[in-house]
Amino acid sequence: MLDATGLELIAQELRESEGEQAVIETTFFRGRGTVEIEPARLRSVLERLREKGYAFLASVHGVDHHPHEPRLGVHYELLDMGRVDRITVKVRVPTDAPEVESVTPDIGAEEPGGPQRGWPTADHQEREIYDMFGVVFRGHPDLRRILMPEDYEGHPQRRDFPVGGEPVAFTFNEREALGPM
């Protein structure tokens, strides 16, 4: 299992291969290691971890750190199926430029960073994060809303989005809830 020392070793390896600025922060909390990285280095970091055995992208999450900046986060939960070992990769982007490179598509040999296999499982999850948090995944093959109606405005899981809903008309507040009848 990954421990705090192992996490630091991985972070050090990433710094050596991706540059000193690539790793922003490491956190080890309740047996789970998290490494926060620079968004521009996302794909190569994931590829490096895949080579180390973390070959299964278990899930992708969106996070809103409101009111802290940079506000929006995307978490990639990687799993090493052989050793049953997990690591979380985290990127954070500001709301005025909420762009993260999509990890879904393959990168061809002629493109920068290629050739590299994609993570097809991220397809729908990136669409959901786009839908709910408004993070734009650059290079995603089909970035559309997945849960909300296509003409919906706003990204409802952002923490400054109004909860919405309807005033419930019980007998005692029927008049206020339904308005003049």
Footprint on this chain of other proteins (rule: CB under 8 A):
147-149, 152, 156, 161-166, 168-170
Contact call for residues 33 and 2 (beta carbons, < 8 A): yes
Q: Which one, 82 or 167, has the nearer CB to other proteins?
A: 167
Name the packing angle between helices 4-18 and 42-51 (round to 10°): 120
Give the shortest CB-64-to-other proteins separation in angstroms: 15
Give the shortest CB-145-to-other proteins separation in angstroms: 10
Q: Which one, 41 or 127, has the nearer CB to other proteins?
A: 127
Amino acid at 147: L
Give the shortest CB-146-to-other proteins separation in angstroms: 11
Give the shortest CB-166-to-other proteins separation in angstroms: 6
Q: Which one, 61 or 158, has the nearer CB to other proteins?
A: 158
d(CA 17, CA 160): 38
Beta-carbon contacts of residue 91 (< 8 Å; ≥ 6 apart): 36, 37, 38, 39, 42, 73, 74, 100
